[in-house]
Structure 1
Amino acid sequence: MELIQNNPYRIAGILSNATERELQKQKTKIKAYTKVGKEIKSDFDFQILGSIDRTEDSVIKAFSNVEQNQDKVNYSLFWFLNASPFDNTAIEYLKNGDEEKALEIWEKVTNDKDVNSKNFSAFNNLGTYKLLSEDKSDIKTGIEAKIKLIESEYFESFVHSVADETYTIDNQKQSEKLIDELLTQFKNQFSSSETLQLFSGCNGTTQKYLSKKFTEEPLHKIESQIESCKKKRKADKSRSYEFGLKLFTNTKDDLSLLKSLLGTSDLKYKAVADQLANEIMQCGIDYFNESQENDSSEDFLKQAQELNETALSIAIGKLTRDRAKDSLATLEEMKDREVAQAIALLQSVKDAYETNEQQIRQQVKAHNFK
């Protein structure tokens, strides 16, 4: 994970609960080394994270990024701290490249346990380690460890370990910041459904926030598409079939995502689904009326039916569904009427032919008789 590999604390070469004195000492040392182009290594580069490229600019930026208390907390949640004998031993293993031993220690003091005064830092460290994995199961465990820490009463102990002891923080807002950052990190790595699955072990508060984050964009996109289609339809009703079909195609994926996130009983989903269905339906109605008047297409009735059937498949509310059913029934009547008219026309042609043929035969007979 980028935010861990290039964490300001890693570039600075310190743990996130380093004292102010340790921080200033490291700052002076690392700046002096980078200024003359001399490579500097830290005990906390950690082999598991791969190589690190320290430049003068990156070092200056790293120390600047961990000056404020809020920033210290934010970046600490994606790094390691040494706040207990367990951490001390595990970090020594990690420095030596023995990841399994380090992991074993942190898992031993966190698995099936609540966050307490002795293991709060282990929850953070375990979470950071797990987030480095490419395995979704590990990442899921890492997220759960972080959220569990932030939502616990001992998160204050974590905060005071990495920031000033007078600093206070809103647990819920910090949880949301963590989620936002994780979503940014996962954006090009996982699909929406995969990302949601990573958070599936978290509580209702997290799920509610995720639902809000994931529904805002598709809702806005669908509503924008509806408004755009409405303007085009009113400006050129003869192309309403084309506009309605395009509206469905452009919103299909977003509507499917909302359905999976919210369910069909959710009021927001009902509202946007019915808005979409009504606009597609109106495209069908306008197209039929326009085509009937101008006789511009032989398939206008079939195409209008297609749009109304699409609208019915989307609609949730009773009023919208009833409207779609009524429109389809009307179109079916028109179709039956056309069929009946066609049959009557064919019959009249047949009758006329038979009558004409009979008259011709009679004339032939009369001629032969003479």
Structure 2
Amino acid sequence: MDLVLRNPFRVLGLSVTATSREIAKRVSDLEMFAELGKEKAFPLDLIELGDIDRSLDAVKDAARRIELPEMRVFHSFFWFRGGDAVDDLALECLSNFELSEAENIWSKQIEKSEEFGRLTWRINRAVYCLWMSDDLGTGTAHFEQALEDMGVVTDDLYEEAIAGVPGADQVSVDRVRELVADSLVSHAVKSAAQVYGPNAIQLIEHCWSFHTDTLDYIKGRVTKPLMNTLQDAIEKSKAQREKGTSVDDLRRKNGLSKVEHIVYELRDSLGESNPTFQAMANGFAKEVVLCSIDAIREHEAVPTAIVLAEWSAELPSYGQTREWLLEQRRRTFTWDPDYCSTDPHDDDLSDIEADLENPTPGDEDDSEGKPLRMKISKAKEGALMKEFGLDESILSESEFRKRREKLKALIKSGKERGYVTLLEIIDALPTELLEIETLDEIENILKEMGIAVSSKSEEAKKQEQAKEQEQSNLKITTPRKVPTGITTCPRCSEKFEPDEVTQYTDFGVRCPHCSQSIVL
């Protein structure tokens, strides 16, 4: 880490308490040595950590970087300090490249201390761990240890840490803390491993030891780029809607799904009660609802609208915005476009399965008293089987039979009534195939067979104004409780994501692995 290896105090071979006069004299001496082509060594060079550049330019640059009191205090947090016999022993171990031994000496003394331990133990271990943070094997653990120590040193031990550093009394405490925080966040962001994510948002949970104001600063530092990205996506979607969004764009969620993860990252890092997060979450969920409304008003694309409305209800939202989007979701589910086809029924249909030609007892046409004959063309049969995932080479025999029975029941219901509802199609489809494109394709195939697709049943339409239907709709307006992150089942201990859930209860969900009811 350059803050350690290229630290101005290391380059100049000075302690962090060196005065301006001592710095000027050392610069003069090193410039003379550089011009003569000679090298100068000092007690705390610690060559084992890496080479030291004491060229003429490097010496001048080091002096320039600690010229201002603010920067002198800042750089003092990133170099070793002499203290007591413990520090002397540990630094000697570093000089002999006994790295683990040096770390253990400081750690054992800190652990034995009643509170924070000596300042020099803490700050020296922090500097050592920062240098080790570039190690491929232990880098993450060392960096998190350095975060803990730096938080303690810049908060609880700050006054002791700056004592003796010339000009420290002229420097703002908050400014120094922000400089230290900036350097640590930048190091995490630039890390090749990206352990804490591209924007280091996961770094926040490891900064618990920092001063409250510094922690808020770190949160703002790592979340601002994410908020900007989220806001840009919202503005882009809004601009597309105003210009005229195509159905295909809406099916792809208008590009909003690409940044959905940011909403949950912000919630996990800032907390659900954070006003800034709530404002961003409400803005995102509202834009999803507006896309759903656009799908109906501009394109009458009910399946797309329903998927978007359901998605908006699953997203975090708060206050009046939450109430508004749930109302829009209810309206989407009860919207009644005219989906009845005027095309004549296709009389040239072959059977999807032989037993469909022979109805079970009681399967008779009420008007003519004749058996119902389910005839479907081979082309349509193949298309429907494909959309329902009926592939015998992949599915087990029982799963294949189960899916086929659901398909037969759906077609039979459609032939009897002349239509099927969108929710019936969704219920018949396997969960893993529940996509907007699949729903649209099945709808087109059924229409070609003479079966219309409606957003709700004829019975629901007749009872919509009745009190019973209002109570039924209440179940729709009240969202089921859904998990918002990874959930661990208390029975089988398996973990699952929200999109793996297929069964909901009045108080939560059922585990997709063992069907255990889980209260949320």
CA RMSD of aligned residues (A): 3.3
Give, in angstroms, the shift of residue 19 of structure 1: 4.8
Q: Deviations over 1:117-149 (max 9, x none)?
A: xx2222211211122223322222222222212
Amino acid at match of 1:301: V
Q: Which residue of 2 aligns with 1:160?
A: 163
Distance 2:58 2:274 in 1: 47
Match of 1:14 in 2: 14
Determine the structure 2 residue equivalent to 1:174.
176
Q: For residues 181-200 of structure 1, what are the structure 2 equivalents within 5 Å?
A: 181-189=183-191, 190=195, 191=197, 192-200=200-208
Per-residue CA deviations over 1:86-109 (Å, capped at 9, x if unaligned) read 434433443343444543443344
Residue number in structure 1 paired with 2:495: none
Report how far residue 239 of structure 1 moved: 5.7
**Equivalent position amino acid for 2:63 in 1:** F
Q: CA deviation at 1:85?
A: 4.6
Match of 2:152 in 1: 148
Matched to 1:129, the amino acid is Y
Equivalent position amino acid for 1:316 in 2: S
Q: 1:313 to 1:101 in 2, by over 3 A?
A: closer
- Return the alpha-carbon distance in structure 1 between the equivalents of residues 2 and 149 of structure 2: 19
CA distance in 2, matches of 1:110, 1:179: 23
Q: Distance in 2 between matches of 1:160 and 1:203?
A: 19
The superposition leaves residues 157-211 of structure 1 with CA deviations (integer Å, 9 ceiling, x where unpaired) of 321322247x244444432321111001111223235423432455655543333
SS in 2 for 1:97: coil
Change beyond 3 A, Cα 1:22–1:216: same
Q: Distance in 2 between matches of 1:131 and 1:289?
A: 57
Instruction: Give, in whole Å, the separation in 1 of the partners of 2:293 and 2:17.
Output: 67
Query: Do the aligned partners of 1:11 and 1:59 also contact (CA within 8 Å) in 2?
Result: yes
Counterpart CA distance in 2 for 1:271 and 1:171 is 31
Which runs of 4 or more aligned residues in structure 1 lie more than 6 Å from their structure 2 counterparts after TM superposition?
Answer: none
* Counterpart-to-counterpart distance in 1, 2:41 and 2:159: 32
Q: Does 2:128 align with 1:129?
A: yes
Q: 1:313 to 1:122 in 2, by over 3 A?
A: same
Q: Secondary structure of the residue that 2:163 maps to in structure 1?
A: helix
Asked if the contact 2:289/2:325 (under 8 Å) is kept, the reply is no
Contact kept in structure 1, 2:154 and 2:210, CA below 8 Å: no
Say which is worse superposed, 57-66 or 138-147, in terms of deviation.
138-147
User: Is 2:90 the counterpart of 1:73?
Assistant: no
In the alignment, the residues of structure 1 paired with residue 186 and residue 248 of structure 2 have an alpha-carbon distance, to the nearest angstrom, of: 39
2:302 is aligned to 301
Matched AA of 1:258: L
CA distance in 1, matches of 2:104, 2:297: 72
Higher RCO, 1 vs 2 (CA within 8 Å, ≥6 residues apart): 1
Answer whether contact 2:4 2:127 (CA < 8 A) is retained: yes
Q: Distance in 2 between matches of 1:140 and 1:99?
A: 17
2:207 partner amino acid? F
Q: What is the deviation of 1:258?
A: 0.9
Pick from 270, 273, 281 the counterpart of residue 278 of structure 2: 270
The whole-number CA distance in structure 2 between the counterparts of 1:76 and 1:243 is 56
One of 329, 337, 342 as aligned partner of 1:325: 329
In structure 2, C-alpha distance between the alignment counterparts of 1:110 and 1:161, rounded to whole Å: 23
Deviates more, 1:211-220 or 1:91-100: 91-100
Q: Which runs of 5+ in 2 are unaligned?
A: 348-364, 369-520
| Greater mean alpha carbon deviation, residues 64-73 or residues 28-37 | 28-37
Q: 5 Å matches for 1:1-370?
A: 1-20=1-20, 22-111=22-111, 112-115=113-116, 119-134=118-133, 135=138, 136-152=140-156, 154-164=157-167, 167-189=169-191, 190=195, 191=197, 192-200=200-208, 202=210, 204-238=212-246, 241-242=249-250, 245-292=253-300, 300-317=301-318, 318-331=322-335, 333-334=336-337, 337-338=338-339, 341-342=340-341, 346=345
* 1:132 aligned counterpart, secondary structure: helix
Q: What SS class does the counterpart of residue 14 from structure 1 fall into?
A: coil
Pair 1:198–1:143, CA change in 2 (3 A): same
- Output the CA distance in 2 between the equivalents of 1:103 and 1:18: 26
TM-score normalised over the length of structure 1: 0.78
Alpha-carbon spacing, 1:29–1:97, altered in 2? closer, same or farther (3 Å): farther
- Greater alpha carbon shift after TM alignment, 102-111 vs 142-151: 102-111
- Name structure 1 gaps, 5 residues minimum: 293-299, 355-370
Paired residue secondary structure (1:302): helix
d(CA) in 2 for partners of 1:345, 1:316: 46
Q: Which moved more, 1:67-76 or 1:217-226?
A: 217-226
Counterpart Cα distance in 1 of 2:143 and 2:217: 19
- Counterparts of 2:164 and 2:88, CA distance in 1: 15
Instruction: Give percent identity, aligned residues only.
Output: 22
Instruction: Give 1:265 deviation, angstroms.
Output: 3.9
Which has the larger share of helix? 1
Distance 1:100 1:21, change over 3 A: farther
1:259–1:61 distance in 2 versus 1, CA, 3 Å:
same
Change (3 A) 1:98 1:66: same
More moved, 98-107 vs 314-323? 98-107
Distance 2:287 2:253 in 1: 11
Change (3 A) 1:4 1:276: same
Letter in 2 for 1:157: E
